[in-house]
């Protein structure tokens, strides 16, 4: 039987609060990943999954009391914050269980690539499991995503939930299976960052078929990004994206989400303003942003700037203003306080004048 979070000893506050347990930034981890001991990246060849799906969008059934949620760790290992995450999920009436390797360690990863992938695929293949939530972000999902069992995903669509490093899994699920997934908090829960409003948003997204409406928060640093398009302030399309670093690092791979006609969502943490410039410039040069319908900008956290220097919001505005599409910032989506949940792949509308992002339900 898989152990519950409470069966494991506590992790020190010092370790929990580090930017990363390895001392590297997210970008440093992405660059260093290929050198990590403990296994090589797992490829897609063994599963023969196609690079891109066509046709019908898949949605999982909405969750109900008594459904089983499995916590898996495709990146960093779980820690003592899973106890609170389990309490949150059980408070929704859900049954929580854990992948076999959630607490494994191999350097900064939750065990070997093979074992992390095995846990992820086992969850998608198990008919008892109705939802899968990531234990923690950090780094590691890129190393295993090409081995995702897309046939199992299509056969039995499930809720997949998480954010940050797990962006690459969202993108793969959307591009290869057209499965709508959920960009929201991980199971390593912290009440000071994700309080009651985050819990309510998560529950509504997973257990209701109502539209999701997120209103621009003027206190968010990204709220200064507000651009009316050349053809009006409203844009429509599937909401696609996630963490900007992960999207940028995923270009020219089979999991990069095609953004034509989409509302491109991005957020990031710990990146200086010039990094936003560099990543958006790269995406523009690659052609990825040529046919987007609009842009939804989430939270900028830790975007430190020297006095008098351009802010992240100013840099993002400069990089996007000539695209001619509506751009709405100030959305509490990402690494900041009060994180809200949105479906990735569901149809969405941004209204710059009204300051709203409206997304159709991601479950059926």
CB 237 within 8 A of CB 261: yes
Above 80 in pLDDT, residue 24?
A: no
pLDDT score at 12:
32
- CA 170, CA 57: separation in Å to the nearest integer? 14
Q: Is the pLDDT of residue 30 over 60?
A: no
Q: Active-site residue numbers?
A: 164, 267, 335
* Dihedral angle of Cα 82, 87, 88, 91, to the nearest 10 degrees: 160
Query: Number of C-alpha atoms within 13 angstroms, CB side, residue 70?
Result: 24
pLDDT for 253-288, tens place per residue?
999 999 999 999 999 999 999 999 999 999 999 999
Look up the pTM and report it: 0.89
55 band by pLDDT with thresholds 50, 70 and 90: confident
- The answer to whether 75 touches 139, Cβ cutoff 8 Å, is yes
Q: Are 74 and 141 in contact (CB under 8 A)?
A: yes
> Which percentage of the chain shows pLDDT scores above 90?
84
- What is the DSSP track for 106-150? BTTBSS-HHHHHHHHHHHHH-TTEEEEEES--SS-HHHHGGG--H
Percent of the chain with pLDDT strictly greater than 70: 86
Residue 192 has pLDDT above 50, yes or no: yes
pLDDT given at position 18 = 36
pLDDT digits (tens, 9 = 90+) for 297-345: 999 999 989 899 999 999 999 999 999 999 999 999 999 999 999 999 9
In the chain the domains, ranked by start, together with CATH numbers, are 8-183 (3.40.50.10740), 210-359 (3.50.30.60)
């Amino acid at each position: 039987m898989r152990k519950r979070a409470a069966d494991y000893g506590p992790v020190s506050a010092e370790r929990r609060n580090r930017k990363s347990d390895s001392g590297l930034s997210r970008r440093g981890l992405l660059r260093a990943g290929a050198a990590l001991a403990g296994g090589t990246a797992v490829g897609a060849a063994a599963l023969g999954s196609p690079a891109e799906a066509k046709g019908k969008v898949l949605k999982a059934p909405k969750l109900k009391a008594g459904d089983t949620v499995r916590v898996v760790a495709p990146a960093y290992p779980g820690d003592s914050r899973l106890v609170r995450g389990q309490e949150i999920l059980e408070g929704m009436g859900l049954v929580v269980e854990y992948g076999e390797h959630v607490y494994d360690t191999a350097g900064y990863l939750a065990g070997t690539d093979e074992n992390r992938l095995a846990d992820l695929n086992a969850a998608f293949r198990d008919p008892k499991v109705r939802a899968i939530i990531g234990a923690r972000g950090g780094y590691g999902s890129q190393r295993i995503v090409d081995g995702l069992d897309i046939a199992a995903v299509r056969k039995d669509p499930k809720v997949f939930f998480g954010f940050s490093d797990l962006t690459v899994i969202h993108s793969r699920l959307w591009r290869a299976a057209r499965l709508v997934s959920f960009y929201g908090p991980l199971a390593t829960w912290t009440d000071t960052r994700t309080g009651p409003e985050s819990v309510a948003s998560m529950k509504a997204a997973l257990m209701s078929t109502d539209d999701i409406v997120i209103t621009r928060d003027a206190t968010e640093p990204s709220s200064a990004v507000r651009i009316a398009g050349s053809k009006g302030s409203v844009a429509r399309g599937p909401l696609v994206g996630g963490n900007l670093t992960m999207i940028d690092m995923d270009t020219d791979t089979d999991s990069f989400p095609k953004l034509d006609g989409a509302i491109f969502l991005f957020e990031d943490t710990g990146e200086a303003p010039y990094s936003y410039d560099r990543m958006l410039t790269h995406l523009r040069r690659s052609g990825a942003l040529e046919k987007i319908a609009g842009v939804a900008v989430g939270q900028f956290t830790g975007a430190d700037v020297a006095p008098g220097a351009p802010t992240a919001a100013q840099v993002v505005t400069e990089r996007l203003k000539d695209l001619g599409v509506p751009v709405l910032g100030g959305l509490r989506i990402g690494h900041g306080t009060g994180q809200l949940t949105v479906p990735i792949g569901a149809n969405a509308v941004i209204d710059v004048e009204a300051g709203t992002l409206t997304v159709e339900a991601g479950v059926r």
